[in-house]
Amino acid sequence: MNGFGLTKTDSRLTKVAGFLRLIRVVNSCAVFVATFVGGLLSVGGQVFSGTRQLLAENGQPLARSGGLLSAQGGLASARAEFGTIALAAASMAFVAAFGYALNDYYDASADAVNRPSRPIPSGMLSRKSVLGVAVFCLLAAALFALKLGVILQLALAGACGLVWLYSARIKRTGLGGNVVVSLLAASTLLFGGLSAGYVRPTFFPALLALLTNLPREILKDVQDLKGDSLAGGRSVVSARGERFALRLASVCMLVLVLVSFVPYLGGLYNRYYLAIVLLLDALLVWVGVTMWDVAARLGTGSERLVPGGGSYMEHRLATAIRILKLTMLAGLLAIGLGSI
C-alpha cells in the first residue's frame, strides 16, 4: 500500500485506465472502423454490392470496379484485399492513438484548467509516461505498415508527421488547426480507399467527415478557451471571439446539411442513406440553431441561467459536441447501408 492508501493492484489498474483514456480507445477504434469502411467502399465501389456477382449479357460474372467477385478476382483475392485493409486500419488506429497521446503531452498545462481529469493533470500518468505511450503507438503503426505497399507507407509517414506538427505547432494557429485536424479525420477514409487501390469512392464520405468534424473542433475551442488562453494557445475563438466562432460553427453545420443530400441526389447512395441522413440533419439543424442562440445570449447574462450549476453555453456546447461525434459515427452507418 502506498502513501495514498492504494494497493499495487489499484495503482496498476489506475495506470491501465489512464492509458486507455490517454489514447481515447473508443475514438481510436472508430478510426479503425472508418478506415476499414473506406477500404470496403473502394473494394467494390460500394460496401456490399461490390461482393455481388453481376451477370453480363454473355453470362460472365462481372462486378463494379474493384469488385470482390470480379471475373479476375475470387475469394482468395478478396481475403487478401480484406487483410490489406485490416492492416491499414490497424496502422491508422495506432496513428490516431499516437496523436491523442501527443495531444495530452503538449496540452498538459491547458488540460490542468480545461480538463483536470485527463491523465496528466489528474496524476494518473506522468508526462514522461505519456511520451513513452506515444512512441509505442508510433512503433506499432510502423509495425502494421510493414506489409503494406510503399505508397501506403509514405502516406502513413506523412500522416504521422502532420499529427506531430498539429500537436506541437499547428493546433495553436487558429482556424488552420481546426482545418488540419478535420482533414486528418477525413484522411482515414481516404487511406482505407488507398489500401484497396481505388480511392475515388471515398471522396464524398471523406468530405462529409471533414464537414462534420470542423464545427466540432471549433466548438471544442470555445469550450477550452480559458485553459488555452492561459497556456498561450491561439484559436479562432481567441482571435475573433466566442460569438463569431459559434456562428461559424453554425454555418459549417448548415453547409454539411446541404452537402449531405448530394450523394443521394447523384445516385451514389440509396434510400437507407437518405433515411438516416434526414434524422442526422434534423439534429444538425437543431444544434446549429442552438449555437446561434447561444451566440445571441452572450453578454446578456441569460447564458448563465441554468439549474444545477454551469452556464447555459457550457451545457449546450457539451451537448452539441456529443451530437456531432454521434453524427460522425452514424454517418459511417448511413454510408454503409446506403451502399447496399
pLDDT in tens, 213-249: 999 999 988 888 776 666 556 778 877 888 899 999 9
Q: What are phi and psi of 46, to 5 degrees?
A: -145, 160
Predicted confidence at residue 57, as pLDDT, reads 40
Of residues 236 and 304, more confidently modeled: 236
Cell 481505388 sits on residue: 198
- Please give the pLDDT value at position 259: 95
- The pLDDT, as a whole number, for residue 280 is 94
pLDDT of 34 above 50: yes
Q: What is the pLDDT of residue 275?
A: 95
213 within 8 A of 182, measured Cβ to Cβ: yes
Residue type, 178: N
Instruction: Copy the grid coordinates of residue 76.
Output: 482468395
Smallest CA-to-CA distance from 215 within 321, 141, 142, 130 is with 321
Q: Specify the pLDDT at position 268.
A: 87
- Compute the distance between CA of residue 96 and CA of residue 118 in angstroms, rounded to an integer: 17
Query: Whole-model pTM?
Result: 0.81
Give percent of the chain above pLDDT 70.
80
pLDDT band at 176 (very low <50, low <70, confident <90, very high): confident
Is the pLDDT at 208 greater than 80? The verdict is: yes
> Integer distance in angstroms from the first to the last C-alpha of the chain?
57
